[in-house]
Chain A
Amino acid sequence: MTSPLLAVQDLEVWFDLPHGDTLHAVRRVSFSVERGERFGLVGESGCGKTTTILALMGLLPPTATVSGRVLLEGEDILEDGETSVRPHRWTDISMIFQGAMNALNPVQTVGAQIVEAMELHGIAEGADAKSQAGQLLEMVGIAPDRLDRYPHEFSGGMRQRAAIAMALACEPKVLLADEPTTALDVMVQAQILLLLERLSQELGLTVILVTHDLPVVAEVCGRAAVMYGGEIAEVGPVDTLYHDSRHPYTRLLFAAVPDPTGEEEVVSIPGAPPRLDRPIVGCPFQPRCDRAFEPCPTEQPRLIALGADHQAACHLNDPAFRAVS
């Protein structure tokens, strides 16, 4: 049995707040991804999805406390903090950010920023690195002679393409994409998503796509995890999540996607996500849930396996409770 490419086990993140409070942003998050897989991490703003992937690379600020394991091909890269994670940054796991508006340094040429990553990790140097950087730009659909241009000379979509090219500079195994299309207009969004999909297929690249946009996940990813209140509510193949969701939040989330024909009304989920700076008792979604029953306010649901590759954290799936209800 081979271990998955990347496995996250019991990841927890706390932030120190002023006045001695703490915010428990990520709670017992576990998931794993295989080589070449496109995995979605979906949820509302503030559900802990960005925190989760920043924690994967050890990029959270010093106010954050992280526990749990991140296994890359079986090796725990967070074991010794900065020392153990830095060698894996960009060479094994790289990252692109929201819209890429400010993800590129405004006073360096795009080429210099790509070459910097290559030289740092000993991939290539000098003219060789530059020609490789040109090929990378070509791969993402930018003319290689744009290497000497500055980020402000690029449009939003081109910047994101350049950021993707830069992320591929050291041939990583995993690409973390944090809301990569959020700040872009719809046409450009589609192009970027197609590009990510193509690169993942051509290069065998694993992509973890973080987004609040369900249709994006359905379009690009094979599998996804739905996060709520810092926890994973449900994880499984996107098709299963859509057709056979076993967590009310997933179901309501899909129902909340606007129907392009305009025939069905947009449904919203009433209420607000739980406050993460206070202890959560019972199921975090219970106050907003349309199917809450006796155990929900007091008992905390755990992820229960529902099929070979499908898990949900909801008491409705628990035979012990089902018998009662």
Chain B
Amino acid sequence: MRGADYVIKRTIFAVVTVFVALTINFIIFRAAPGSAVSNLARVPGATHALRAELEHEFGLDKPKLQQYFIYLGQLAHGNLGVSFASQQPVSHELLQALGNTIPMVLLGTLFAIGFGTFTGILAAYRRGTAVDKASVSTGLFFYSLPTQWLGLMLLLIFAGTLPSGGRVDAFLFNPTPLQHILDVLKHMLLPSLTLGLVLYGEYTLITRSAMLETLGEDYILTARAKGLSDRRIVTRHAFRNAMLPITTLIALSLGYIVAGSILIERVFSWPGIGQAVYYSVQNRDYPMLQGAFLLLTLSVVFFNYVADLLYFKLDPRIRE
């Protein structure tokens, strides 16, 4: 069947992409200038013996090809190595950071999807009216704002009423689960809003243009001639077709959950993946970086894969 063909093709494509990314990921860190060991030794004039000792300990004295296979082998067992900075397993550190990042980014993204799609549809439907103009200019405004600047401005405005940074209140002792959740939510609000507003601009503009395009199609005229109400034309005929480009956008922005939030996490000191990447760069923490890059690759490939499968469901023409 064609459907199975498509799914198999997409799956193979995704797996190959991950594999290529893994390999590039391995090469980048071997090709990067500077030695991993120089920072590890933490002594500016470390002796050759010490360096050699460290290189041996981390297996860096082995041939590159052998290192590559060891790397793949360890990955297969879920071992991402040990962080130079914290001496903790990278997988453990990354999972913790990811656990902090996902709810924050998800909240902002869902806000953007819901609100942005809604105003985008409304603007397209009421094209040329005040509603349309207001929606487009608001969308353009937020879309063109630098994320970190918007974050800082929100911080300036709301810092008194909402926490200005971090994920939990350090002075909240032995909170009940409910108290803890509310506390985290309160901290999450500003970074999520920052992300959500910038994404909102993108969503509303893209939804509007996708909707305008489909509303101009002949089948919309047919639908009107059939006597359908405007609401039904918009939901059943126009939006259903406009969803195709929107799905791509959703997949792309979800894929960048991991990486897209470095600026926001810095501004709001949110202990997520972005923050972890930032510190790892500063500390030349190669295993952490390598792990974070891997995670980023996986999430981008995964969400693209999901988008491909959704497309298959949404667009019968792909099933050809």
CA distance A89 to B228 in the complex (A): 9
Are B237 and A105 in contact (CB-based, < 8 A)? yes
- Smallest beta-carbon distance A152→chain B, Å: 5
Are A117 and B241 in contact (CB-based, < 8 A)? no
Q: Which of A106, A108, A109, A166 has the largest number of chain B CB atoms within 10 A? A: A106
Q: Specify the chain A residue showing the minimal Cβ separation from B223.
A: A105
Task: Tell me, yes or no, whether B240 is within 8 Å of chain A by CB.
Answer: yes
Residues of B within 8 A of A225 (CB): none
Q: Given that A107-B314, A107-B316, A152-B317 are known contacts, is A59 also in contact with B221, CB under 8 Å in the complex? A: yes
Q: List 23 A-B contacts (CB under 8 A).
A: A86-B227, A88-B227, A91-B227, A94-B225, A95-B222, A101-B218, A102-B218, A104-B219, A104-B222, A105-B222, A105-B237, A105-B240, A105-B241, A106-B241, A106-B316, A108-B240, A109-B316, A116-B226, A116-B236, A121-B227, A152-B320, A166-B222, A166-B226
Q: How large is the interface on A (under 10, 10 to 19, 20 to 34, 35 or more residues)?
A: 20 to 34
Residues of A within 8 A of B227 (CB): 86-91, 117, 120-121
Q: Which applies to chain A's interface (DSSP): helix, strand, loop or mixed?
A: loop
Of A87, A95, A105, A121, which contacts B225 at CB under 8 A? A95
Interface positions of B (Cβ within 8 A of A):
217-219, 221-228, 236-237, 240-241, 314-317, 320
Are B218 and A103 in contact (CB-based, < 8 A)? yes
Q: Which applies to chain B's interface (DSSP): helix, strand, loop or mixed?
A: helix
Are B219 and A89 in contact (CB-based, < 8 A)? no
From 102 to 135 in chain A, residues with beta carbon under 8 angstroms from any chain B beta carbon are: 102-109, 116-117, 120-121
Q: Which 5 A-B pairs have the closest CB atoms?
A: A89-B227, A102-B218, A150-B316, A105-B219, A95-B225
Number of A-B contacts (CB under 8 A): 69
Interface positions of A (Cβ within 8 A of B):
57, 59, 86-91, 94-95, 97-98, 101-109, 116-117, 120-121, 150, 152, 163, 166
CA distance A152 to B315 in the complex (A): 11
- Smallest beta-carbon distance A241→chain B, Å: 29
Are B226 and A106 in contact (CB-based, < 8 A)? no
Q: Given that A97-B218, A106-B219, A107-B315 are known contacts, is A120 also in contact with B228, CB under 8 Å in the complex? A: yes
- Smallest beta-carbon distance A75→chain B, Å: 16
Q: Given that A120-B226, A150-B317 are known contacts, is A97 also in contact with B221, CB under 8 Å in the complex? A: yes
Residues of B within 8 A of A59 (CB): 221, 224-225
Given contacts A59-B224, A102-B219, A116-B226, 8 further A-B contacts (CB under 8 A): A59-B221, A103-B222, A104-B222, A105-B219, A106-B316, A106-B317, A107-B240, A120-B227
